[in-house]
A and B are shown apart, each in its own frame.
Chain A
Amino acid sequence: MTDTLSQSTSQAAPDVVAEEATVKIRVRDLDFYYDDFNALTGITCDIKAQAVTAFIGPSGCGKSTFLRCFNRMNDLIPGTRVVGTVLLDGQDIYGPDVDPVDLRRRVGMIFQQPNPFPMSIYDNVAYGPRLHGVKKKSDLDDIVKTSLKRANLWKEVKDILDRGGLTLSGGQQQRLCIARVLAVQPDVLLMDEPCSAIDPTSVQKIEDLMAELKSTVTIIIVTHNMQQAARVSDDTAFFLQEVMGEPAHLVEFGRTAEIFTSPKDKRTEDYITGRFG
């Protein structure tokens, strides 16, 4: 795991190295296709390291699609195609030498619907490490404990680790999924509407969690909740598909504080103030 990391650093192009401390992911002229349908066009942006970036925009404007470009989850959907470049730590993740399976360890993902596996809480968290060759019980125990702690779930489940993950409440399940991802030590965490299917107290817990995690993990979150975007994120990207059937694009990208107080684009302002979407 550390191998891939140091490797990618050493392979980075010189001009990228200079800014590496601040930019985690660099997207240039990205177009995305579902078969013939051009879903996204001309996306260019820099995602900052150790920060939370929020993706906002009306339903169907390609936020999830774009998010899945970062861990090549779209590869699993037949007929999809990416044009343009996505550099993670300076390395082109669509390059010929990149194995999407390895990439997905570094770029974890949380889905809208909590999706624990039908197995115990312990096994859920240990799943990733086991895949990647951790066998010793004591090592696994450590990883499970640390990951559950980082996901703020340890206190609630430490005595019921062998109980089925599906017996937890929705909010706990979502934190279990976060722990499961943290167990493989990703440096980017993609969250696709992680709070839209869970209760408000759990939402609070997950927002707190994001604030704690961002010192070590770069977080990108898709959300339909403007207050949430304003609360948790450092940067915000606003996407819009202006005409049905036409590709969506990135309308505005900048500091969250600025986007929410003085957006440069009229369409951003309309969306944020709830005039459409």
Chain B
Amino acid sequence: MARRDSKDLANRVALTGFWIAALTTVFILGAVIVYVFVNGIGEISLEFIFTKPHGVNAEGGIWPMIVATLYVTGLAMLIVTPIAVLAAVYLAEYAVQGQLVRTIRFAADTLASVPSIVMGLFGLAFFVEALKLEFSVLSGALALSFLMLPIVMRTTEEAIRAVPKYIRWGSYGLGATKWQTVSRIVLPSAAPRIITGIILATGRAVGETAVVIFTMGTMIYTPVLPTDPGRSMTVHLYQMAMEGINLPAAFGTALLLMVMILAFNLFARWLLRRNRRMQG
């Protein structure tokens, strides 16, 4: 009897522990969102989104930063996607599974865990200075693509591996070559998960600060050419806040940034769910 009671007690204690942990998580998340929302919502207006800042305190809008952010991440996505997908196809389908492939995979995982400020430093030394690309959207996009590459490559590889063997066999059984099977069956089947991976990586790039401050610079400028400099929303937020220039603008920027990243993630989830329904 006593044992039973102590077991019940242990159960209850554990359960309460889980509850507290879960509630804390939700609370922290909620607190951050509410705090940013309350402080930022007053700033958000059409003017804030669509006009340039002016004056010493950077009043007005953040349009150049929005453009620079979308430009640099979009370009990074364009650079990363073909390289990552081709590399993943090679790793998953063609490479002889052995030491070399394991090494490449390990390298990708390591690359994924390099602190982004280190990647920024590398970008500064290599793209900005050695390749003389200056502080530009292009330098930023190239450095960001280093950050995104391992994520997209690994999710793509997993998506390819998740395509069932019997579907591939169906294709081979009809006299398809390996390339025909990969390009017509495997990649289309894996596409939704690959796209999800790309979107998630892009979402991360949107929120990246260290890399872009080192490579795209801090100049408030609406970039048109890839060689133009610019300031990302994250960098803007950093400067507004740290230099005490305009705290409300910092919160407004933060709120917009969060909404953008949330939209990215929701879009990725929606894609995945839609695909799951379609494949029934």
Q: Is the CB of B184 within 8 A of A73?
A: no
B158-175 interface bits toward A, Cβ cutoff 8 Å, 1 = contact, 0 = none: 000000101101111111
Checking A104, A119, A164 against B173 with a beta-carbon cut-off of 8 angstroms, the contacting residue is A104
Q: Is the CB of B174 within 8 A of A108?
A: yes
Q: Is A115 an interface residue (CB 8 A)?
A: yes
Known: A101-B175, A111-B169, A181-B173. A127 touches B188 (CB 8 A): no
Q: Is the CB of A113 within 8 A of B166?
A: yes
Q: Is B28 an interface residue (CB 8 A)?
A: no
Report Cα–Cα, A181/B173, bound state, in Å: 8
Chain B positions within 8 Å of A164 at CB level: 278, 280
A170-185 interface bits toward B, Cβ cutoff 8 Å, 1 = contact, 0 = none: 0000000100110010
Q: Is the CB of A131 within 8 A of B280?
A: no
Q: Is A213 an interface residue (CB 8 A)?
A: no
Q: Is the interface of B mostly helix, strand, loop or mixed?
A: helix
Q: Is the CB of A118 within 8 A of B174?
A: no
Q: Is A218 an interface residue (CB 8 A)?
A: no
Known: A119-B188, A131-B180, A166-B280. A184 touches B174 (CB 8 A): yes
Q: Is the CB of A111 within 8 A of B166?
A: yes
Chain A positions within 8 Å of B166 at CB level: 111, 113, 115
Residue of A nearest to B180 (CB): A131
Q: Is the CB of A73 within 8 A of B173?
A: yes
Chain A positions within 8 Å of B176 at CB level: 101, 131
Report Cα–Cα, A184/B174, bound state, in Å: 7
Q: Is A249 an interface residue (CB 8 A)?
A: no
Q: Is B155 an interface residue (CB 8 A)?
A: no
Interface residues of B in 143-201 (CB under 8 A from A): 164, 166-167, 169-177, 180, 184-185, 188-189
Known: A119-B188, A164-B278, A167-B280. A104 touches B175 (CB 8 A): yes
Checking B169, B177, B180, B189 against A118 with a beta-carbon cut-off of 8 angstroms, the contacting residue is B189
Q: Is the CB of B279 within 8 A of A118?
A: yes
Report Cα–Cα, A128/B174, bound state, in Å: 6
Chain B positions within 8 Å of A180 at CB level: 170, 174
Residue of A nearest to B166 (CB): A115
Q: Is the CB of B185 within 8 A of A117?
A: yes
- Min Cβ gap A218→B in Å is 16
Chain B positions within 8 Å of A184 at CB level: 174-175
How many A-B contacts at CB < 8 Å in the complex? 67
Q: Is the CB of B175 within 8 A of A128?
A: yes
Q: Is A139 an interface residue (CB 8 A)?
A: no
> How many A residues have CB within 8 A of the partner chain?
28
Q: Is A105 an interface residue (CB 8 A)?
A: yes
A118-132 interface bits toward B, Cβ cutoff 8 Å, 1 = contact, 0 = none: 110000000110011
Chain B positions within 8 Å of A177 at CB level: 170
Report Cα–Cα, A109/B174, bound state, in Å: 8
Checking B172, B174, B175, B189 against A76 with a beta-carbon cut-off of 8 angstroms, the contacting residue is B172
Q: Is A270 an interface residue (CB 8 A)?
A: no
Chain A positions within 8 Å of B180 at CB level: 131
Report Cα–Cα, A166/B176, bound state, in Å: 21
- Min Cβ gap B169→A in Å is 7
Q: Is A71 an interface residue (CB 8 A)?
A: yes
Chain B positions within 8 Å of A103 at CB level: 175
Known: A111-B166, A117-B167, A118-B188. A131 touches B174 (CB 8 A): yes
Residues of A at the B interface (CB closer than 8 Å) are: 71, 73, 76, 101-105, 108-109, 111, 113, 115-119, 127-128, 131-132, 164, 166-167, 177, 180-181, 184
Known: A109-B169, A118-B189, A166-B278. 18 other contacts (CB 8 A): A71-B173, A101-B175, A101-B176, A108-B173, A111-B169, A111-B170, A113-B166, A115-B164, A115-B167, A115-B169, A117-B171, A118-B167, A131-B174, A131-B176, A164-B280, A166-B279, A181-B173, A184-B174
Q: Which 10 A-B pairs have the closest CB atoms?
A: A105-B175, A128-B174, A109-B173, A115-B170, A104-B175, A115-B166, A115-B167, A131-B176, A118-B189, A113-B166
